[in-house]
Amino acid sequence: MTLRPEDRAAPLSAFGKPVDAVWLEIGFGAGEHLAWQAANNPRVGIIGCEPYVAGVAKLLAKIARAGPSNIRIHMGDARDVIEALPAASLSRVFVLFPDPWPKARHHKRRIVQMETLDGLARAMIPGAELRFATDDRGYLAYALERLTAHSALRWAAVCAADWRARPADWPETRYEAKALAAGRRPAYLRFIRR
């Protein structure tokens, strides 16, 4: 289940069986989204990055029950994986409800930084999709500013409904459920690698 250092250089062969594509989920929390994607996309290898032991343990429990073999886990900073991935190796990236680090002095800790987006753009194939969700309005504005400014990414939204409704192949996470229960409306952004 663990993503080995050598797997980062050849992600298509990291899953013990042939896969057609590789996806990356950054900060998978308890892993409900990642496990759902793995179960519903068996020909896709999914790398999940999460620095917290509790989240990794919850995902491992889900894997033990459901048994998907198309998941590899990196317990640590996703930027280490992004740096090591070969160019044009990812077909989809998920950044769902990341820690907003709301204090201005902590904004440098946010995962959506131009340097991180540069690394993701390098690792994404043309046409690959980056999905980002947040219920924090401050982080939404911050992320939109950076995502729309990045020359390798194109916002897929055509109308307001495109970011107000979660796509059918994007299952609810517990963070999303908490936001909705608290009356906060999440935004669901999709960007395409040019």
48 within 8 A of 28, measured Cβ to Cβ: yes
pLDDT band, residue 72 (cuts 50/70/90): very high
Distance CA 157, CA 163 (A): 7
pLDDT-wise least confident of 15-19, 83-87, 134-138, 185-189: 15-19
Burial label for 114, CB within 10 Å (0-12, 13-18, 19+), is exposed
Region 29-47: mean pLDDT is 96
Q: Which pLDDT value is given to residue 66?
A: 82
Domain containing residue 169: CATH number: 3.40.50.150
- Of the residues 7, 20, 77, 99, only one is catalytic, namely 99
Task: Indicate if 136 belongs to the active site.
Answer: no
Task: Give pLDDT tens digits for 126-181.
Answer: 999 999 999 999 999 999 999 999 999 999 999 999 999 999 999 999 999 999 99
Domain hosting 55: range is: 5-193
* pTM of the predicted model as reported, rounded to 2 decimal places: 0.96
Residue 1 has pLDDT above 90, yes or no: no
Q: Is 191 helix (H, G, I), strand (E, B) or coil?
A: strand
pLDDT value for 67: 80
Domain count across the chain: 1
The one-letter amino acid at 148: T
